[in-house]
Amino acid sequence: MNPLVLKQMRPVLGRVLCMGVCLTALTAAAQGQVYRCPGNPVLYTDAISAKEALERGCKTIEGTPITVVPSLRPKGGSPAPAGVNTSPTAKVDPNAQRNRDGERRTILESELKKEEGALAQLKAEYNNGEPERRGDERNYQKYLDRTAELKAAIARKEADIAALKREIGKLP
């Protein structure tokens, strides 16, 4: 390029570069600080203060843009599987419906039986809040953590069993 043109463009290039840096700084300020907080699942947030982030053990994410990708919706809808009539006035054969309901009941009852067995096993291990200590639990906190995990697992199993019973109760 011609040295004379470069000399004339330097002030313009300097202003353009300055505008780019300013816009980047403004964008970062508008977005605020993004924190990565420990947990299950890992939480990314910009809705907490620096003090709260420090208390929770969160780490700042610098220089990493956060991208949110919306899910795609099908344009025309997917075609129905073969053999399924999707017209609003279609009636299902009563015998076929009874067969489906019976299969569903059988599946739900087998799931219920399996969950009740798992719950009984968890309760036996939990031993009314005093599970047997393991050899790897020399640290008392590990024992307390396992006890809390067992209690939470029992609560989840009980909720699952209640949901299965509700589903079975809805069947004709």
Give 137 or 100, the one with higher predicted confidence.
100
Give 66 or 73, the one with higher predicted confidence.
73
Q: Are residues 113 and 158 in the same domain?
A: yes
80 falls within a domain: no
| pLDDT of the residue at 29 | 43
| pLDDT of the residue at 51 | 82
Mean pLDDT rounded to a whole number for the chain:
77
Q: Are residues 38 and 98 in the same domain?
A: no
| Tens digit of each residue's pLDDT (9 = 90 or more) over 84-102 | 665 666 788 989 999 999 9
Q: Are residues 47 and 112 in the same domain?
A: no
Q: Are residues 49 and 101 in the same domain?
A: no
| Tens digit of each residue's pLDDT (9 = 90 or more) over 118-133 | 999 999 999 988 899 8
- Beta strands 34-37 and 59-61 are antiparallel
Q: Are residues 61 and 104 in the same domain?
A: no
Work out the average pLDDT over 143-151: 93
Structure tokens, 88: 């609003």
| pLDDT of the residue at 22 | 45
By the 8 A CB rule, do 122 and 153 touch?
yes
Q: Which of 30, 33, 28 is nearest to 50 (CA)?
A: 33
1 falls within a domain: no
Work out the average pLDDT over 72-94: 68
| pLDDT of the residue at 109 | 94
Q: How many CA atoms lie within 13 A of 85 on its CB side?
A: 7
Residue 143, domain extent:
94-170
pTM across the whole model: 0.46
Q: Are residues 102 and 161 in the same domain?
A: yes
Number of domains in the chain: 2
Residues 6 or more apart in contact with residue 38 via CB below 8 angstroms: 56, 57, 58
24 falls within a domain: no
| Tens digit of each residue's pLDDT (9 = 90 or more) over 26-67 | 444 445 677 777 775 556 677 777 788 788 888 777 766 666
| pLDDT of the residue at 24 | 45
| pLDDT of the residue at 26 | 41
Q: Are residues 110 and 160 in the same domain?
A: yes
Q: Are residues 99 and 166 in the same domain?
A: yes
Q: Are residues 60 and 98 in the same domain?
A: no
Q: Are residues 104 and 154 in the same domain?
A: yes
How far out from the chain centre does Cα 117 lie?
A: 27
Q: Are residues 98 and 159 in the same domain?
A: yes
| Tens digit of each residue's pLDDT (9 = 90 or more) over 105-119 | 999 999 999 999 999
